[in-house]
Amino acid sequence: MRLFLEKGFDETTVEDIAEAVEISPSTFFNYFPSKEDVVFEDELDPLVLAAFDAQADTVNPIRRLRMAMSAVFGHLTPEQDRMMRDRMRLMATTPELRGAMLSQFASIVDQLAHLRQGSGASATTSPSTTSRARCSACFSPRCLRSPTIPRPT
């Protein structure tokens, strides 16, 4: 993230990143398929999904997501908070990252939809369109408006 913030996303190469962490460019690709994936890599998504899954299936999915996000984002360390804000600013100002963000969003919606299906569904069962739509709705600005979810400044 430091290089992207200092040089800009487009100006930062995989070689720059590899050199900064003292690995070869080919080793970089063992960890990340692309430099876009470096921006999206964090430990928070799995925590939000786990907090969502830990709640009863009977709880409204929008409320489940709000509670999960509040549980995770309400306990960020100052370093995690700064990193999240830097990442959001970078994504908002970089067209390539906005497109990649939509792909990540779709992946998260699918994961939430699978969790929403409950433990009775097999791992290979595809979530229904209705389940995906409900999970997508959880991310609408109206649904996310909550005093318990921190807002970027």
Residue 153 lies in a domain: no
Which domain covers residue 126, as residue numbers? 42-144
For residues 75 and 137, membership in a common domain is answered with: yes
Whole-angstrom distance, CA of residue 23 vs CA of residue 108: 30
Q: Do 22 and 90 fall within a single domain?
A: no
Is the pLDDT score of 144 beyond 70? no
Q: Both 53 and 18 in a single domain? A: no
Query: Pick the residue with more confidence: 34 or 137?
Result: 34
The per-residue pLDDT for 118 is 60
Cβ(61)–Cβ(138) below 8 Å: yes
Look at the chain and report how many structural domains it folds into: 2
**Token pair recorded at residue 108:** 């998260």
Q: Over the stretch 96-105, which tens digit does the pLDDT of each residue have?
A: 898 888 877 7
Q: How confident is the model at residue 15 (pLDDT cuts 50, 70, 90)?
A: very high
129 and 101 assigned to the same domain: yes
118 within a domain of the structure (yes/no):
yes
74 is a domain residue? yes
For residues 8 and 57, state if they share a domain: no
Q: Which residues contact 110 (CB under 8 A, 6 or more apart)?
A: 127, 132
CATH number at residue 6: 1.10.10
Predicted confidence (pLDDT) per residue in 50-79, tens digit = 998 899 988 888 888 889 989 999 999 999
Rounded average pLDDT over 28-36: 93
* 89 in any annotated domain: yes
At 96 the pLDDT is: 86
pLDDT over 90 (residue 106): no
Residues 25, 48 within the same domain: no
Q: Are residues 82 and 28 located together in one domain of the fold?
A: no
How is residue 74 written in tokens? 């309400």
Read off the pLDDT of each residue in 19-41 and give the average, rounded to a whole number: 93
